[in-house]
Chains A and B, each alone.
Chain A
Amino acid sequence: MTDQQNNSVEVPPQVNRLVALIAERNPTHAKHLDRVMPRIHADEYQHLETYLEYCLESGLELSYLADCYLLLVADAVNELAYFQREGNYRYSTFAEVADHVYFNKEYMDQYMYGLAISLIFWSSHMEIHRYFEETLPLDKTGKYLEIGPGHGRFLMSAMERSSFNAFVGIDISETSIAQTRAVLSHFNPSPDADLSLVVQDFHETELPAGSCDAVVMGEVLEHVEDPASFLSKIRELAAPEAHIFITTCVNAPQIDHIYLFRSLDEVRDLIESQGLAIVSEKAVPYEGKTLEQCAKHALPVNVAYVLKAV
């Protein structure tokens, strides 16, 4: 694969070098990038470029970052094979994944960097992030809570674009909070904002009931044994008229996915069982497939919801 040019957007230099490294090490995945890259917007490329420059300034190398991304791809492919054979995710309890993922700093670092890069190179992640930004209320004030900020991208977008005054991020992984903190400290998206990042089990938060004007939880439900309890807790913390945004996935195996949603209806039913109503939904099928094909062959679907408490 040579320099990737689409008709109207030039790929920035560090992104170009990263893509070349990825393509060299995984030619099959290069085909995927060929399909996806023409659809990436200029500002998305620029954001990744800035992120890569930040990583390089922090002492990381593009080679390492390419390997982080390819580790994510390889894990996804291996788990996909397991799922297609067995019809279930490999693991189903938090204990099975905790030690080798969340509390394994070396792995988590790689996982978070890989996920950050996948935000534009996996079209499902890209479309979900765009939907997050499209639906984020820009004039609403008050407290914004994010559960599981991970690589920090959603939280950064909220801090850059919204009018919320206070931002809280809660994550069970110390590595994840450290990365979020470092990225936000570097990019400083909202210098005057009140920001609090906490390593904590979300269920143990001392935030008062009804105190959050926005609650965001991206890609958490499939990582926990009891997703209903997370939705219930969100319902409890949401202020009246709060903006609630969650994302999850269906038939989407990954190294640390333990709760298997087999259909969009299953997700919808769970949401509505916990006192939340769906305001809007964005379902994104696997690259190159339709939702019908995904349902027929149990292929991955990523989905995002804007919710309200009822």
Chain B
Amino acid sequence: MSDNIYSRLAPIFEEVFDEDDLEVTAELTANDVAEWDSLSHIRLIIAVEKEFGVKFRTTEVNNFRNVGELVEMLQAKTSA
């Protein structure tokens, strides 16, 4: 199931960060992507919300440390 989530996240990351060859892995963090700033973070979250039909709380938006934790939150929200 998480493979499916990563495959759906990949085009979102490419679009938000304008990077065609960005590899979306569980370990990926904001520090690894030059364009990942406050604005991009918001755009990423909103695009993810739209793609997966979920809504993140402010604490969730600000507290995930890497993509892996984002995926865990998505799994929890989409299987609930």
Contacts and interface: CB of A to CB of B under 8 A. Distances in A.
B42 A80 contact: yes
A41 interface: no
A205 interface: no
Given A28-B41, A81-B45, A297-B43, 17 more contacts: A28-B38, A29-B38, A31-B30, A31-B37, A32-B38, A73-B38, A77-B42, A80-B39, A81-B42, A84-B42, A84-B43, A85-B49, A286-B39, A287-B37, A287-B39, A288-B37, A299-B39
A297 B16 CA distance: 10
A85 B30 contact: no
Interface string A38-81: 00000000000000000000000000000000000100011011
Contacts of B18: 293
Contacts of A293: 18
B22 interface: no
19 contacts: A28-B37, A29-B38, A31-B30, A31-B37, A32-B38, A73-B38, A77-B38, A77-B42, A78-B58, A80-B39, A80-B42, A81-B46, A81-B61, A84-B42, A84-B46, A85-B46, A85-B49, A288-B37, A293-B18
A209 B34 CA distance: 52
A28 B29 CA distance: 11
Category for how many chain A residues contact B: 10 to 19
Category for how many chain B residues contact A: 10 to 19
Nearest to A83: B42
Nearest to A300: B39
B51 interface: no
Interface in B21-80: 30, 35-39, 41-43, 45-46, 49, 58, 61
Contact of A28 (B30, B45, B49, B58): B30
Contacts of B46: 81, 84-85
A84 B37 CA distance: 15
A27 B39 CA distance: 14
B34 to A, nearest CB: 8
